A = this chain, B = another copy of it.
Amino acid sequence: MKNLEQRIIEDGVVINNDILKVDSFINHQIDVALVRDIAKDITKEFASFGVNKILTIETSGIAFAYAVAEEMGNLPLVFAKKSKSATVGNDVYTAEVKSFTRNIVSKITVANKYLKPSDTVLIVDDFLAEGNASIGLIDLCKQAGTKVVGVAVAIEKGFQGGRNRLEALGLKVYSAADVKAFVDNKPVF
Which residues of B are found within 8 Å of A67, using beta-carbon distances?
66
Q: A62-B62, A66-B63, A66-B67 are in contact. Are A79 and B35 (CB under 8 A)?
A: no
Which residues of B are found within 8 Å of A59, using beta-carbon distances?
58-59, 62, 79, 81
CA distance A110 to B35 in the complex (A): 21
Most buried by B among A63, A67, A78: A63
A104-127: CB near B (< 8 Å → 1, else 0) gives: 000000110110000000000000
Binds B, one of A25-33, A130-138, A154-162, A163-171: A25-33
Is B70 in contact with A32, judged by CB distance below 8 angstroms?
yes
A1-37: CB near B (< 8 Å → 1, else 0) gives: 0000000000000000000000110001111110110
For the complex of A and B, list the 4 residue pairs with the smallest distance between their C-beta atoms, beginning with the closest.
A33-B74, A30-B77, A58-B59, A32-B69
